[in-house]
Amino acid sequence: MGTFVRSLPQRIHRTGHALRSAAGRRGLRHGVAPTVIPQGMLRRIAPDLVIDVGANRGQFTLDVVSALPSARVIAFEPLPSEAAVFRRIFASHPNVELRTHALGSKSERREMHIAKAADSSSLLDFTPRQEAINPGTGVVGAVDVDVLTLDQVLDDLFADRSLPRPSLLKADVQGYELEVLRGGERHLSALGWIYVEVSFVELYRGQPLAYEVVNYLSPRGFGLVDAVISSRLRGRSIQADFLFENGRAVDK
């Protein structure tokens, strides 16, 4: 989810899907296409609420509005340039809300490292492996962003009522995923699914690896039920998208 698509067939496939909807066509005008891959999963689990953390320009949100037109989306994107594009694409979608701050394990003001490929930007420092594995994603700048916790946001949004069920949390924040989860500790039990990018090698300094995310979610009732390898190099998996299901919150 974090790296840009280099394959021409993939680009053609994504463009074809985008042309099928008004939102997709609007996205193409801004150089943005749905990722397509998770749409089958989205239709199968059919969440009423999707929390899109690390929304970038709206690639995953385009998947949601294509697969589940009536679902509510609360998206988070702290980079002003990317958030501006997201707003233009979803300006006519009343079910889509954008918040322009990051999420983490505590409230703070923190420096975000901006990558040349903006969807690889991170609150963590880059390791040499990031640029070596994903050429063109080196750091080109930095910006200070506000960081809140998921618990704070959901307390504010749903103060007088329960979190809608079923709900899906998607987190793709370049090594900061576990911090996002830690900041939502009080609300995790109400989520039906968590869809998170994980890494098998350290691309950002101090980022938890895939097994650490599994070890965090497992005792909280979330079992790993699906995985898509999103990046490989020389026969080794680099990154993947993991889907976790909350057995305590989802009707079988």
How far is it, in rounded angstroms, from Cα 109 to Cα 194? 26
Domains of the chain: 8-105+146-246 (3.40.50.150)
pLDDT band at 251 (very low <50, low <70, confident <90, very high): low
Which residue in this structure is represented by tokens 């959901």?
154
How far is it, in rounded angstroms, from Cα 128 to Cα 199? 15
5, pLDDT greater than 50: no
Q: Of all helices (H) and strands (E), which one includes residue 43?
A: helix 39-45
> What's the pTM value of the predicted model, to 2 decimals?
0.92
Give per-residue pLDDT as tens, 159-199.
877 888 889 999 999 999 999 999 999 999 999 999 999 99
Q: Over the chain, what is the mean pLDDT?
A: 92
How far is it, in rounded angstroms, from Cα 26 to Cα 28? 5
How far is it, in rounded angstroms, from Cα 65 to Cα 39? 10
Token pair for residue 19?
């042309």
Token pair for residue 231?
């990046």
Give per-residue pLDDT as tens, 15-66.
877 777 777 788 888 888 888 899 999 999 999 999 999 999 999 999 999 9
